[in-house]
Amino acid sequence: MFSRKAVYALVLPLMVEQLLGVTIGMADTVMVSSCGEAAVSGVSLVDSINILLIQIFAAMATGGAIVSAQYLGRQNREKANLSAKQLFFIVAVLSCFIMLLCLALNNPLLHLIFGSAEESVMANCETYFFWSALSYPFIGLYNAGAALFRSMNNSKVSMLTSLGMNTINVSGNALLIFGFQMGVAGAAIATLVSRVVGAAVMLLLLLRPHNVIYIDTFRRFRPDWRMVRTILAIGIPSGLENGMFQIGKILVQGLVASLGTIAIASNAVAGSVAGIPQIPGAAIGLGLITIVGRCVGANEYEQARKYIIRLTGLAYVAMAVLSAGLILAARPVIQCYGLLGETSNLAFELLVANCLASIVLWPASFVLPNGLRAANDVKFTMTVSVLSMWIFRIGFSYLLVYGFQMGVLGVWVAMFIDWGVRIIAFVARFLSGKWTAKKLAD
């Protein structure tokens, strides 16, 4: 169903988009680092919450995109258009509710999760979290639009929109952090403005009727509860999976926060750079959702199987090349953040360990299961991910940090163990063929 040219036309813009996301995240951290380690630590801790909520929005968007892709595989454009409109309804309601909740619970929530953080770090957390919460509805709507364009095999739209958003973000950071000396508030406000623009662009583009999927109008909108349930049947398990995964990471961040500012800052810098080798794999995983969704919608499971194997293998090759390159460039990259000696050395150790583990473990842990999700096998992937996260990543983090006195490195080793467990479960599921027996959207 997809030629090699079509696969690359889908995946390559996604790689650029993922690269923009990682490099802009690095640029944010570098710019905020000029305000001191407390500012970097505060942004890092709040971003663990931001990532949790954005992952939930993305899971809802993925649910809608999978349903739309399956309808397109059956040549049912009318149902694909209906699913798009219902997806925006779901994301808008959910993101606005979460925004209001986070604004109301700003201080209590941060102190509950990161209560052991130093006072200067907590002050930065509170400021950054307030402005971040205001952007949740806009990043939710942007993700929904981007997912729909991916289901149309058109990832250039989200790539170009992301480029524009990131340009606004970096320019805003430079103006507000360096020009107006606004610190972490400046970084958060720049992000808010970029997300407002991104959401507006996506909505305007989806109103154009020449798109394969488009939204005719929101006037006299009524929820189609049957379609909403169809989307939620995929989105909720994926959302729970992503949500519980990120909650676990937040708990681990709380553990890191108890180890002091050096551990927090080195963990933040290593974490921002460690995403570079994962860029191709993340892009391939997003593309795999569209490709497998179309295949299973057309009842072409053998093609879906071949694409899962081929694209997961491609992710391994790309991961190996980039991880090796990052190991060689690790010292110069870390120096860009202006960390002090002990913090810099610790960040280097974490980054090298992550690169070595990623080469072997990451693609089968995170790319392959996207193929299962696109075939509606979301409950299995959710169960494996949640159990592995809580038993192995969180459990072993506390064991290695406190029991074996490994410090923040123990948190990363526990993450690698979690990846290994996921591989065993997901590969066994794929080989069993049980993922091909799931009920598709009506």
Half-sphere exposure of 373 (CA within 13 A, CB side): 35
Spatial distance between the Cα atoms of 360 and 356, rounded to a whole number of angstroms: 7
Spatial distance between the Cα atoms of 326 and 177, rounded to a whole number of angstroms: 29
Tokens matching residue 29: 């951290």
Identify whether the C-beta of residue 188 lies closer than 8 Å to the C-beta of residue 253: no
Give 162's contacts (C-beta < 8 A, 6+ positions apart): 17, 20, 21, 146, 198
What is the tens place of the pLDDT at every residue in 159-199?
Answer: 999 999 989 998 998 999 888 888 889 988 998 999 999 99
Tokens matching residue 106: 């700003």
Q: What is the mean pLDDT of residues 33-61?
A: 82
Q: Which of 51-55, 144-148, 244-248 has the lowest mean pLDDT?
A: 244-248
Buried b (16+ CB within 10 A) or exposed e, 73-104: beebeebbbbbbbbbbbbbbebbeebbeebee
Chain position carrying tokens 């909650």: 247
SS3 34: coil
CB atoms within 10 A of CB 243: 18
Tokens matching residue 191: 């992000």
What is the tens place of the pLDDT at every residue in 66-95?
Answer: 888 888 888 888 888 888 888 998 999 999
What is the tens place of the pLDDT at every residue in 192-241?
Answer: 999 999 999 999 999 988 888 888 777 777 888 888 888 888 888 888 88
pLDDT number for residue 441: 61
Half-sphere exposure of 127 (CA within 13 A, CB side): 20
Give 140's contacts (C-beta < 8 A, 6+ positions apart): 54, 57, 60, 61, 91, 92, 94, 95, 199
pLDDT number for residue 156: 92
Give 133's contacts (C-beta < 8 A, 6+ positions apart): 99, 102, 103, 106
Identify whether the C-beta of residue 281 lies closer than 8 Å to the C-beta of residue 319: yes
CA distances from 406 to 185, 248, 411, 415 (A): 34, 19, 8, 14
Q: Pick the residue with more confidence: 39 or 356? A: 356
> What does the H/E/C string look like for 274-308?
HCCCCHHHHHHHHHHHHHHHHHHHCCCHHHHHHHH
Confidence label for 25 from pLDDT (cuts 50, 70 and 90): low
Find which of 45-49, 117-121, 321-325 is predicted with most confidence, using mean pLDDT: 321-325
Pick from 297, 303, 221, 249: which is nearest to 414 by CA? 249
Spatial distance between the Cα atoms of 418 and 389, rounded to a whole number of angstroms: 6
Find which of 90-94, 154-158, 421-425 is predicted with most confidence, using mean pLDDT: 421-425
**DSSP assignment letter at 405:** -
pLDDT number for residue 439: 67
Chain position carrying tokens 């650029």: 16
**pTM (2 decimals)?**
0.80
Identify whether the C-beta of residue 389 lies closer than 8 Å to the C-beta of residue 247: no
Max CA distance (Å), the chain: 61
Tokens matching residue 325: 């390159």
Q: What is the DSSP string of 181-238?
A: --HHHHHHHHHHHHHHHHHHHHHHHHT-TTSSS-----TT----HHHHHHHHHHHHHH
Mean pLDDT of the chain: 87
